[in-house]
């Protein structure tokens, strides 16, 4: 991987960061959508105002963001949607994670293979997933929730500064992808986009109109599939018409845990998010974090050690549950208590000592999350992705949409697990039809049957820990939701054996003590957690857009 290109990409995406604490939560009574794309959030709000429910708004927002946030919003990727229906109905997860094509093999990738290629594309799940959610819970007609995205693509929308910078970066760094430059370049990349310019995407508009009028089959078995397969053949990709036709989204039971009297709902495998989040909260429940203080070295140490243990279990056990057996004890209170008791409160654990059964060898990420709630209290937490920023950078010619590079989320090098963070353990190795392990963690927190918090984040392996930090801020430290979203975040992923902390300059004394305990602490910027909190006293919805990049809380 070219680290310089990746760094430039992050600079482009984060170049217009707003100062933290520059925002206040938006308060509304009837409905709320919080997303990284202001036009996407506005589409969702408009659907709520028309009488649509939270699922209608989520589907409309997701399709709109395929137009207005092409770095991660998509129809060529996949994700997970957690739905809290209310009315005493059980929460549901729509799993629309991508799958390996039928021709995939465990050892199909070598070190020389690029993550930006047709070969890196997994079978997309977004369109089937959104359709399944709408079929199960939607209120408005399908066409009505897709057409707003059609209009945005056909008529265009006005670019803000972050998106203009992002487009200029991707076009300037993708000379070998002419269709991407054609679709997203201003005058084929000869000029730079500016805030206030209008981006029109005619091919994508045709594609979305077909989906609106013909339904999801247009994508998987109809004319869009023809263009998709032609693109695969053009670039020696693996996905066939059968792969597309056989893809199915799945309604699953969420991972459910409790934390200090709150119910936690997250996605099950092939996402590692729900399992790891509940495991970590179960461990933290054994410590009085409030008494220790949010930014004390004691609290930060316990959180690091908790993350380290959960991510070790992630590597050892988690993968697509249709292919591997997931131990039930990972989310049990008893198991968490044993892990908590093994934490040395004065000293950091060496990561390699936690999993001696995993042999260590010698020696990404662009996702987006949005949260929705309607006037009846139905809530949706949705995270979906192309994997890297602009995915594989392959745009389907004539169809206008970007394809994912999710195959890289498998363990490409079987048996190779390194101290630098490469994971090669068995559960997430490639197999035909298998869904690659994900860290996506769309989460809904409830109490006494009522939604309290809707959150999630992009950020690859940092996602789960971003969500953990937001939940701890709200539940343990009673932070107002905007402050909970803006507060410095912490991350440890087992390997590399380092704690990444956004507060290194603000909490220098705590960092010194952590380092004295044996932690390697480095600075970072982490996540993009667009969150909704429901005031239990008034019932009002408080929407917090994350100022680390961009976004909008659109309520009414």
Q: What is the pLDDT of residues 310-332, one digit of tens each?
A: 999 999 999 999 999 999 999 99
Of the two residues 210 and 19, the one the predictor is more confident about is 210
Handedness of CA 462, 466, 469, 471 (dihedral sign): negative
| Global confidence as pTM | 0.94
State residue 514 phi and psi, 5-degree precision. -60, -45
Dist CA 43 CA 194 (whole Å): 23
**Is residue 353 situated within a structural domain?**
no
Return the axis-axis angle of helices 202-214 and 54-68, rounded to nearest 10°: 150
Kind plus residue range of the DSSP H or E element containing 9: helix 3-14
Q: 22 falls in which pLDDT band (50, 70, 90)?
A: low
105: DSSP letter: -
**Is residue 171 situated within a structural domain?**
yes
**Pairing outcome for strands 417-418 and 360-361:** parallel
**Is residue 49 situated within a structural domain?**
no
Between the alpha carbon of residue 363 and those of residues 246, 355, 416, 422, the distances in Å are: 38, 17, 9, 9
Q: What is the pLDDT of residues 87-120, one digit of tens each?
A: 889 999 999 999 999 999 999 988 788 999 999 9
Q: Count the domains in the chain.
A: 1
Dist CA 145 CA 147 (whole Å): 6
Q: Catalytic residue numbers? A: 367
Dist CA 248 CA 127 (whole Å): 10
Query: What value does the mean pLDDT take over residues 490-509?
Result: 96
User: Residue 64: is its pLDDT beyond 80?
Assistant: yes
**Is residue 122 situated within a structural domain?**
yes
Query: What value does the mean pLDDT take over residues 344-372?
Result: 80
Q: 446 falls in which pLDDT band (50, 70, 90)?
A: very high
Domain encompassing residue 387:
57-79+94-249+379-423
Nearest to 456 by CA among 374, 384, 375: 384
Nearest to 156 by CA among 116, 118, 196: 196
Report the b/e string of 8-18 with b at 16+ CB within 10 A. bbeebbbbbee
Q: Which residue is associated with the tokens 């670039």? A: 235
Mean pLDDT, the chain, integer: 93
Rg, C-alpha atoms of the chain: 22
Q: How many alpha carbons fall within 13 Å on the CB side of residue 471?
A: 33
Residue 273's SS3 state is helix
Q: Which residue is associated with the tokens 């054994």? A: 286
Q: In the prediction, which pLDDT does 4 show?
A: 32
**Is residue 196 situated within a structural domain?**
yes
State residue 343 phi and psi, 5-degree precision. -75, 125
**Is residue 328 situated within a structural domain?**
no
User: Residue 481: is its pLDDT beyond 70?
Assistant: yes
**Is residue 305 situated within a structural domain?**
no
Question: 99: Cβ–Cβ under 8 A, 6 or more apart, which residues?
Answer: 122, 123, 125, 243, 247, 433, 434, 435
**Is residue 445 situated within a structural domain?**
no
State residue 164 phi and psi, 5-degree precision. -60, -45
Q: What is the pLDDT of residues 388-405, one digit of tens each?
A: 999 999 999 999 999 999
CB-CB contact of 35 with 552 (8 Å): yes
Q: Lowest-confidence range among 57-61, 421-425, 436-440?
A: 421-425
Q: What is the pLDDT of residues 148-204, one digit of tens each?
A: 999 999 999 999 999 999 999 999 999 999 999 999 999 988 899 999 999 999 999
Structure tokens at 326: 């997931």
């Amino acid at each position: 991987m070219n680290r310089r290109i990746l760094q430039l990409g992050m600079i482009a995406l984060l170049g217009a960061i707003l100062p933290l604490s520059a925002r206040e939560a938006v308060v509304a009574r009837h409905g709320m959508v919080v997303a990284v794309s202001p036009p996407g959030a506005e589409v969702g709000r408009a659907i709520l105002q028309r009488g649509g429910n939270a699922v209608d708004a989520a589907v409309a927002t997701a399709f709109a963001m395929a137009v207005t946030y092409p770095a991660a919003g998509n129809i060529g990727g996949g994700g997970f949607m957690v739905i809290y229906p209310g009315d005493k109905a059980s929460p549901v997860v729509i799993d629309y994670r991508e799958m390996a094509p039928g021709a995939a093999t465990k050892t199909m990738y070598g070190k020389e293979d690029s993550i930006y290629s047709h070969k890196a594309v997994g079978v997309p799940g977004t369109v089937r997933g959104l359709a399944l959610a709408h079929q199960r819970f939607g209120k408005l007609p399908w066409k009505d929730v897709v057409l707003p995205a059609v209009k945005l693509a056909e008529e265009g929308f006005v670019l803000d500064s972050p998106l203009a910078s992002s487009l200029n970066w991707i076009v300037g760094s993708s000379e070998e992808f002419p269709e991407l430059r054609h679709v997203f370049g201003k005058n084929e990349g000869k000029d730079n986009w500016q805030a206030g310019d209008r981006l029109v995407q005619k091919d994508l508009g045709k594609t979305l109109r077909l989906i609106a009028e013909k339904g999801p089959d247009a994508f998987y078995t109809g004319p869009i599939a023809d263009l998709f397969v032609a693109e695969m053949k053009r670039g020696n990709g693996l996905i066939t018409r059968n792969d597309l036709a056989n893809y199915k989204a799945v309604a699953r039971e969420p991972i459910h845990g409790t934390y200090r009297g709150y119910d936690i709902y997250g996605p099950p495998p092939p996402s590692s998010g729900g399992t790891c989040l509940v495991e970590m909260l179960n461990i933290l429940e054994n410590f009085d974090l409030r008494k220790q203080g949010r930014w004390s070295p004691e609290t930060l140490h316990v959180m690091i050690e908790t993350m380290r243990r959960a991510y070790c279990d992630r590597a050892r056990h988690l993968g697509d549950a249709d292919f591997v057996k997931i131990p039930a004890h990972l989310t049990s209170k008893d198991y968490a208590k044993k892990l908590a008791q093994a934490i040395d409160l004065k000293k950091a654990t060496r990561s390699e000592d936690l999993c001696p059964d995993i042999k260590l060898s010698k020696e990404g990420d662009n996702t987006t999350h949005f949260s929705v709630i309607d006037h009846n209290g139905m809530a949706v937490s949705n995270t979906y992705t192309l994997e890297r920023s602009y995915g594989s950078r392959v745009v389907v010619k004539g169809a206008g949409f970007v394809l994912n590079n999710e195959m890289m989320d498998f363990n490409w090098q079987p048996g190779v697990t390194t101290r630098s963070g490469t994971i090669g353990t068995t559960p997430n190795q490639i197999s035909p039809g298998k869904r690659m392990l994900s860290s996506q963690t769309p989460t809904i927190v409830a109490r006494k049957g009522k939604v309290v918090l809707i959150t999630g984040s992009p950020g690859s392996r940092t996602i789960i820990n971003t969500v953990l930090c937001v939940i701890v801020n709200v539940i343990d430290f009673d932070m107002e939701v905007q402050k909970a979203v803006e507060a410095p975040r912490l991350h440890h992923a087992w390997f590399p054996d380092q704690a990444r902390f956004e507060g290194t300059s603000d909490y220098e004394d705590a960092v010194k003590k952590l380092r004295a305990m044996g932690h390697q602490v480095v600075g970072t910027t982490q996540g993009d957690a667009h969150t909704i909190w429901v005031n239990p006293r008034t019932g009002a919805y408080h929407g917090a857009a994350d100022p680390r990049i961009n976004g909008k809380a659109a309520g009414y």
